[in-house]
Amino acid sequence: METTLRGVGVSHGVAIGEVRHMGTAVLEPPAKRIPVEEAEREQGRARQAVEAVAADLIARGNLAGGEAQHVLEAQAMMAQDPELMADVERRIAVGSTAERAVYDAFAAYRALLANAGEYLAGRVADLDDVRNRIVARLLGVPMPGVPDSDEPYVLIARDLAPADTALLDPALVLGFVTEEGGPTSHSAILARALGVPAVVALPGAGELAEGTVVAVDGSTGEIFVEPSAEKRAEMESAAAARKAALSASSGPGATSDGHRVPLLANVGGPGDVPAAVEAGAEGVGLFRTEFLFLDDSTQAPSEEKQVAAYRAVLEAFPEGRVVVRVLDAGADKPLDFLTPADEPNPALGVRGLRSLLDHPGVLRTQLTALSKAARGLPVHLEVMAPMVADRADAKAFADACREAGLQAKFGAMVEIPSAALRARSILREVEFLSLGTNDLAQYTFAADRQVGAVSRLQDPWQPALLDLVALSAEAARAEGRSCGVCGEAASDPLLACVLAGLGVTSLSMGAASIPYVRATLAKYTLAQCERAASAARAADSAEEARVAAQMVLSGE
């Protein structure tokens, strides 16, 4: 009999197929003791396993490219963390086997992060995956992972680590469903990049029996178990209609009555540019520059290396708009040369612009490199600072840009509620705002963006979050400035209409989402979008807001 489950839809599309489960995690190794004379040998085994796992992650990243490459390279750095390795060697020295020492060291680090409430706890799935890979290698057993199958299937897992998600074959994995995770987890972001329908934060997903037929709607988050023939036909028809609409959609982003809403791409480096161009992106709304700095956490990349990387992206959008975010270090992206190692709560400490203002040489080099990279190009360069809290932050960043001789617009990201509440004040120092809805939701609701248990508070349809977006857009309009959204909220086609109705002037998202958003915006007038936005803000929950907006746009 057909039953319906609901999780959080994070990647558009429909998948219908039989359930296959992800391999189980590596078993806990036995806690046996070793003689003291074997410690050096065991320490060598541990180091070799760590290096092999790091090399494998980097190789997987090279194969996947784009966003996945940056995520996996960061995970490789996690495997090689010197403090973790020192703890492993200490445990071996007092009698643990290599595999038990790795297991216990990672468990201690995991518990420390969770108990401290740190933002890094949002990378627990990544941390567990690294541990499992090292332990599996030490035990000499295969690493459990994506199941072998000659037939397409829907993948079910407790969670998916980036190393698994990055190399999913869309020809075999029709879609995936996880019990954990949230709309801004690495797996969700990579699913959108792959164009694989996905639903996360579905408790009990692991109880679905192997071989059960399910229909997954990655837009609504609904899972239909043993769907009827009528339901399958309905979903397949809707999917075909959506595909036809996408094929027919082209050109600049706009509502049906011609109100322009430029659709831009989020990119992490030159490797993401081809997909953005192919999707018809009108420019880049978020160029994450961290990828350059994660190669070596001990020192900043040279000015020459930065110039080459920035220019490769700028050249891809002649006469287009490219918005660059300067280095956003700290919290889940620690860098030895820049961020404090002993902060009790890095998410609320020295991160983003705060780190750069503490290290003005790093900021000056990056701004100078951007200036040189744009020289002679017709591109419209805009540069923004992450984690701006108030007018003083905005002024400090604008002053640094001017001192570096940067010929570009200077902007501020709105990721902290104070920046939304005081947006007009901030706009007296900078020329545009860009809303990072992922972090803005996290800080508004005190809800870690990677923890499935609080995923409802990470839902970008939350009316309180829409209120902050509206405040920012209204401030920008009053000051004659632009206000874009570059968080994952922009990739939801229905929410994109609501954001346009709130006064947002541009939307930036993963390349795979651009055709969906373009086709949906083109169906409605600006007035309809404004009415949908008002209805969503009047609601009391994310689900009510979504339904209210849908009813307005459908004419009900």
- Planar angle of CA 493, 499, 500, nearest 5 degrees: 95
Pick from 434, 430, 507, 451: nearest CA to 201: 451
Residue 464 tokens, joined: 């309180």
Q: How far apart are CA 318 and CA 315, in angstroms?
A: 6
Task: Kindly write down the DSSP assignment for every residue of 3-60, as one continuous string.
Answer: EEEE-EEEE-SEEEEEEEEPPPPPPPPP--B--GGGHHHHHHHHHHHHHHHHHHHHHH
Residue 157 tokens, joined: 């897992």
Cβ neighbours of 284 (radius 10 Å)? 27
Residue 36 tokens, joined: 């003291």
- The catalytic position among 401, 483, 486, 497 is 486
- The catalytic position among 70, 186, 483, 529 is 186
Pick from 102, 89, 91: nearest CA to 33: 91
- φ/ψ of residue 104, rounded to 5: -70, -40
What are the angstrom distances between the C-alpha of 53 and each of 75, 163, 317, 451?
10, 11, 37, 25
Cβ neighbours of 104 (radius 10 Å)? 18
3-class DSSP state of 267: strand
Tell me whether residue 486 is one of the annotated catalytic residues. yes
Where would I find the beta strands (DSSP E) of 220-332? 222-225, 263-267, 283-288, 321-325
What single letter denotes the amino acid at residue 487? G
Q: How far apart are CA 10 and CA 495, in angstroms?
A: 13
Q: How many residues does the chain have?
A: 556
- Rg (C-alpha) for the chain, rounded Å, is 24
Tell me whether residue 359 is one of the annotated catalytic residues. no
Segment holding 382, helix H or strand E: strand 380-385
**The tokens 């430029």 sit on which residue?**
262
Residue 301 tokens, joined: 């990349």
Q: Which residues contact 470 (CB under 8 A, 6 or more apart)?
A: 502, 503, 533, 537
Q: Which residues contact 327 (CB under 8 A, 6 or more apart)?
A: 289, 290, 293, 338, 355, 356, 362, 363, 366
Exposure pattern of 29-48 as b/e (b: 16+ CB <10 Å)?
A: beeeebeeeebeebbebbee
User: Taking a C-beta distance cutoff of 8 angstroms, is the pair 390, 328 a contact?
Assistant: no
Q: How far apart are CA 69 and CA 71, in angstroms?
A: 5
Catalytic residue list = 186, 486
